[in-house]
Amino acid sequence: MTLRFKDLARYAAAGAALAAVLLAPGAEAQTKVRLAKQFGISYLPLTVMEEKKLLEEHGKKLGLDLQTDWVKFTGGPPMNEALISGNLDFASGGVGPLLTIWSRTQKNLGVKGVAAINSMPLYLNSINPEVKALKDFTEKDRIALPAVKVSIQAVTLQMAAEKAFGPGQHGKLDPLTVSMSHPDGMAAMMTGRSEITGHFSSAPFQYQQLADPRVRKVIDSYEVLGGPHTFNVVWTSTRFRNENPKIVQAFLGALEESIKFINASQKEAAELWVKAEGSKMPAAEAERIIRLPENEWTMVPKKVMAYAEFMSRIGLIPVKPESWKDAFFEDLHGQPGS
């Protein structure tokens, strides 16, 4: 069928009108949202969000037709690289990687935290019967953690080392650390035949290890920090937030709903996580971990400044936030953070 000139003109006008709407100030042109998480039950709020398609649901309430692309990383540094290169929209991980990228992108991307997703302790466990305290580790031991020197486990280990060995000794155990994903680190330690004799991880790995009588908890991050602290947070760039305000608003709404669901329906949340992760862990054990009083599902940042002050003092970050609010977008400033 041949189109007449009037038909072509009409279609061209309609196309121009549609383009004008899509490119108008404040219009949400992006429909695909790229999000990342890591291994472990600590990322439960994001798993719930993914499985229940909460971001898509909250996007629809704001007039957005969103598609999500979830990817999994083994640590914060490669996630930050993906965010900087424009291959990721929302990153998630420990406070250490957030503070690192926040301090290094002040004059360009302006990366900041969107929200916390939990407060959880981190355990350094060891299968070496001779290791009962940090001072018992020797050159024969190796400690697996997500990323040497920059992961929240690595920074917490430095804080603990300074307390154990004295001022200026924060890096004393760094030569013993090895970058490994939590599943790989756990597998290596639990064989009992590997050079990996210690594993600084998170839930559920730390609890699974302690179920073995050969394993002993060496340090607890809550003891190092002097109380409950944020473990995982979500962050993005100021550029992305400014260009996609409704997507960020939808994300916050989805995260809030996810956390409310976890706190109200622990059994269902546990079953969802086990199925989504293909975990061999019994759902009852996952539920037990979710319910532990020490594990809080919350968007409120806690003791972020304790990490920031330490990381600034030893030169891990070039700029120190004056307040936790400096490292988070104003959407969260009404929360009782620290």
Q: Is residue 23 part of a domain?
A: no
Does 240 lie in the same domain as 294?
Answer: yes
Q: 109 and 234, same structural domain?
A: yes
Asked if pLDDT for residue 241 goes beyond 90, the answer is yes
Q: What is the mean pLDDT of residues 263-286?
A: 96
Q: Write the secondary structure of 195-226 as one string of H (helix), E (strand) and C (coil).
A: CEEEEECCCCHHHHHHCCCCCEEEEEHHHHHC
User: Which helix H or strand E contains 23, and what residues bound it?
Assistant: none
Average the pLDDT over 155-167 and give the result: 97
- Cα–Cα–Cα angle for 246, 250, 256, nearest 5°? 145
79-104 exposure pattern, b = at least 16 Cβ within 10 A, e = fewer: bbebbbeeebbbbbbbbbbbbbbbbb
- Pair of tokens at residue 82: 């993906």
Query: Do 127 and 182 fall into the same domain?
Result: yes
| Domain membership flag for residue 205 | yes
Phi then psi dihedrals of residue 142, to 5 deg: -135, 140
- pLDDT exceeds cutoff 50 at 25: no
How many structural domains comprise the chain? 2
What's the pLDDT score for residue 29?
52
Q: What is the CATH number of the domain that holds 75?
A: 3.40.190.10
Q: What's the one-letter identity of residue 162?
A: E
Whole-number average pLDDT of the chain = 91
| Segment 19-47 mean pLDDT | 73
Domain membership of residue 136 (yes or no) is yes
Please give the model's pTM, rounded to 2 decimal places.
Answer: 0.87
Tell me which of 14-28, 100-114, 184-198, 249-263 is least confident: 14-28
Q: Which domain does 186 fall in, by range?
A: 123-225
Judged by average pLDDT, the poorest of 25-29, 70-74, 123-127, 210-214 is 25-29
Band of pLDDT at residue 295, cut at 50, 70 and 90? very high
Residue 4: what pLDDT?
38
Examine the domain organization and report whether 251 and 191 are in the same domain: no
Q: Is residue 44 part of a domain?
A: yes
pLDDT > 70 fraction of the chain, expressed in percent and rounded = 91
